[in-house]
Structures are given as C-alpha cells and as structure tokens.
Structure 1
C-alpha cells in the first residue's frame, strides 16, 4: 500500500467508527478517537473498565497521524518553525489561549502511519475483528427495476487473504478473491469489482435469491486450495537464498561454540555452553527459516444481480 491508499483506508476507518476529525490536511489528520476506536487502539482496558463501572464521561485520546511524510516536507516544516522564531512570533504559554483564557491543553500524540507500521497493523486488526464478515446486496439501478417481475441474485463469497513471506526479511501480499456459491466460479479480481457497486445490508425489493450449490465451508475450502496452487507456482528464489543465509549463520555460530565446548573442563561447563548454542541455533532458525503464512483478513457474503 502506498501513502495515498493508507490515508484512504485510515480515513474510512475513522469515519466508520465515528471519530472526531479535528483537522484534515494533505497527507495528515488530527483526530480525537471515538470510544469504540479508543478501546480498540489504545490498550487501556483498566481505564475503560473504570469508565464503564462508574459511568464517568470518557476522555478519549487525540492523535496526529502523518501519512508518508517525506524529508522535503519535514525540512519545510522545520524551516517554517525557525522562521517563526526569528520573527519573534508569540507562542501561547501551555494552558493559555491566545486571548488569555485558561484552556486545558489537548495532548496530541504524533505518529507516522505507513504500510508496515505498528499502528496501521493495529488498525488492520481492529477492522478485522470488528468486521470479519458482512452480508451485502447490490442496489438495483433506479428506474430499471421490473415491478411486475423479480430479479435473480447470485450469492458470492468474497475473501480478503493476506500472504506473508517471511525470513530475515518480510513481504506481504493481498488477494481479494470471490467464488460464486451457485456455480463455483472463482474471480481473482472480485473485491476490486465491488468498488463500483452500490451495496446495502437490506434485501432490495423485487429480488429473489438463487439457490446455492456450495456451502460456505466448501466455498472457502475451494478458494484456499486455488490460492495455494497459485502461490506454489510462484518464484521461491528468496526462500533458497534465505536458507543459504540460515546455514551460514548456523555454521558461524557452531564454529564459535564447538571449540569452547571441546575445551570445557567440567560437565557443568559443557552443559551450559551446549544450552547457549542450542538457544542461539533456535534464534537463528526462527529469524532466517523461510515460511509462507496465509491468513484471512475479512470476508463477506455478497448478493449480486445475474446468474454466474
């Protein structure tokens, strides 16, 4: 995901959870979280337990998030700050407004949000946990509905898969696939095709649902098998290179510990050194061993017009 995609995703999440957008600028946002978002993103279970027990009005946190800020932007901001200081621009004292009234300062937590950052991963997790599965219907075009007839709708299972390629480096890929529950046809660009459709959680009028030929469990299994076949046909040069690095690291650490173990005088000393070697080998194995992990981010049951 590039900075623009990250920004669009985060803004959609903030709007969906009812957060208060204090200031929106190009590439950045200052936002006061809603209670729902605060509970999911700030890791304050004791505070929220106190609020719920006592009925105290909650004080949610305020964040200033920068999306893909580059060095040029940072340099311009620093130059503007220096210029303001040189010109003697007055800065209100903490707790005072420019008009002189006492105002409680709002603490704004500044963070950079980018693909791979911890905060964005946390937002991904909140979206995944809060909306793992939805059921939606496409709205028929206005003025085209046959009031005397009924339009057939086919059910599709749409799934967002995340594939992690991991060794001493990491890469992620997203796949938004869909499968027709009527015919079993798999569309590898299904979720991309939903962007231009108007969806609603309510069943539209003059619509009938076609019977499903596949259960949800069977459909998910077929999607996973199809994606697994696609992944197996990919380029795994990176895995071979990672395995070579793993073996090199193991040889290096053994060349360090083996002579020490051989020179050990007591059995206790040998046992201690052997345990250290085993621990280092385990750490190297975890860091360098190549692995591919497939996980489901979210899914949905989408009823679309036509027979597919």
Structure 2
C-alpha cells in the first residue's frame, strides 16, 4: 500500500511540474524533466551555467525512479521513504510550493459551480527502534464536510489550472480552514490508532533491555551522572512516537461530482 501511495505522489509531483511521463507502470516511473526540474533535482549547476553561457538551450535529463523494491535492476534509482531523493523532492516542495490554489478546468458555456476542497499531503513518521514514513493524501470539501482519502488519486484524473474557467463561479466555504485542519487531524489520529503497534512494543522492550544492561556496568554512586546521561540517550533513541508533517496542500475548486 505504501509503495503505491509513493508512486501516486511522484506521478502527481512530476505532472504538476509539467514533466512528461514517458513510462508509468506500477513500481517504475520514467519522466522527461523540464529545465526547471533538472536544475532542481539533478545537481548540474556547472552544466547549466556553461550551456547558457554558450547560448544553447540545454538538454534536461530523463529520470527513472523505482518505487517497488522487487523491480530494482541496478541501473535505475530506487526511491523509498527515507531515501535522499525523496527528501530532496519533499524539501523542494517545502521551499517552493507548499501551498497552492487551483481550479478544475471546465469546458462549458453553462454556468458551473466549483466547490472548495482543502487538500493536504501529510507525511506520517513512525519513530522508534525502526523508522518508517508514510504519505497520506486527504481532501475535505469545505461546504458539506465530505472527506476523501487518497485524494491525489482523484486529482490525477482532473485537468487543473491556476485561473477559473469561463462561466464558472466558486461556492463560498462553510467550514473554516482551522476547523478543516482539525477534522483532518482527527481522521489521521483514528487512522494511526487503528494500526498494529507491535513496532512500538518492540521498541520499548529493546529500550528496557539496554537500560538494564547498562546498569550492570555502573556500580558506584560516583558514576550515576554518567549513567543517567546514557540512559537519557537510550530513551531518546528508542522511545516510540508518531509525528505528522504537512508536506504540501492547498485549496482546489472542483465540480460538484468530485
């Protein structure tokens, strides 16, 4: 499930940045980068400086990313939660496009209402003995309160643009943004609570074992301060917790059938 969500996230990311998807099958994605995305992701500043100085347009690279570990071939780049490439993409979104406002493109000469959706892509980090990240996409309709998981899957099929189409008008939201975020937060907490938490129990068990082992090495009161310091370090390393981080999001105005 997490693999498919990552693949969908990458599809949306590159499509939104006007990169052509040359190959797009489950677990493997090849994209033709634009100059802007080549500059952002491929770390070739000297190439672009030289090519522009020579007056040439330059040739952005193609990038193949493998999200399914079973399809790794040694030639192309395996991207996964925690990989440097995914961190680079997330950081790019943070720095340049954390929030946006887009409208569904409508080709009609009849008056059409567009409804506001609060859409958020959220990274859930499970921290403990082992670390795991998961990307979740949630949409909340700000008029009737309908909520959808996997919202990026829906948006993937819709033409979006920065300006509203002719003959379209927007419906004012009934739900304030702050209230909307609280609703999404509540859904995320329920989602996390319903999962198996054996990982947290295993992390706590390892923490206690290491603390017990450590106590055997410190016998005198004079060593207590050093022991307490090491125990604190063990607790920081193994204490399980779950963190939420909004990677990006925005307001999307969609037709009612959305």
Q: Does 2:166 match 1:205? A: yes
Q: Which has the higher contact order (CA 8 A, sep 6+)?
A: 2
Instruction: Pick from 195, 200, 205 the counterpart of residue 239 of structure 1.
Output: 200
| Change beyond 3 A, Cα 1:285–1:38 | farther
Instruction: Tell me which residue corresponds to 1:9.
Output: 10
Q: Contact between 2:139 and 2:149, CA under 8 Å: does it hold in 1?
A: yes
Instruction: Tell me which residue corresponds to 1:124.
Output: 90
TM-aligned CA deviation for residue 125 of structure 1? 1.4
Deviations 1:90-137 (A, max 9, x none): xxxxxxxxxxxxxxxxxxxx9944203123212221123221111111
Q: Contact between 2:14 and 2:31, CA under 8 Å: does it hold in 1?
A: no
Deviations 1:175-200 (A, max 9, x none): 11111111122112322211111111
Q: Does 2:242 match 1:277? A: no
TM-aligned CA deviation for residue 13 of structure 1? 4.1
Relative to the length of structure 1, the TM-score reads 0.64
Question: 2:62 & 2:226 partners in 1: Cα distance?
Answer: 44
Q: Does 2:212 match 1:251? A: yes
TM-aligned CA deviation for residue 225 of structure 1? 1.9
Q: Contact between 2:79 and 2:86, CA under 8 Å: does it hold in 1?
A: yes
Which has more radius of gyration? Answer: 1
Deviations 1:10-51 (A, max 9, x none): 896499388xxxxx9x97989999577646775x9xx9xxx9
Question: 1:33 & 1:203 partners in 2: Cα distance?
Answer: 25
Question: 1:30 & 1:200 partners in 2: Cα distance?
Answer: 21
Instruction: Pick from 140, 162, 168 the counterpart of residue 123 of structure 2.
Output: 162
Equivalent pairs, count:
248
Question: 1:66 & 1:185 partners in 2: Cα distance?
Answer: 34
Q: Does 2:242 match 1:292? A: yes
Instruction: Tell me which residue corresponds to 2:79.
Output: 114
Q: Contact between 1:162 and 1:173, CA under 8 Å: does it hold in 2?
A: yes
Higher alpha-carbon deviation: 278-287 or 207-216: 278-287
Question: 1:73 & 1:66 partners in 2: Cα distance?
Answer: 11
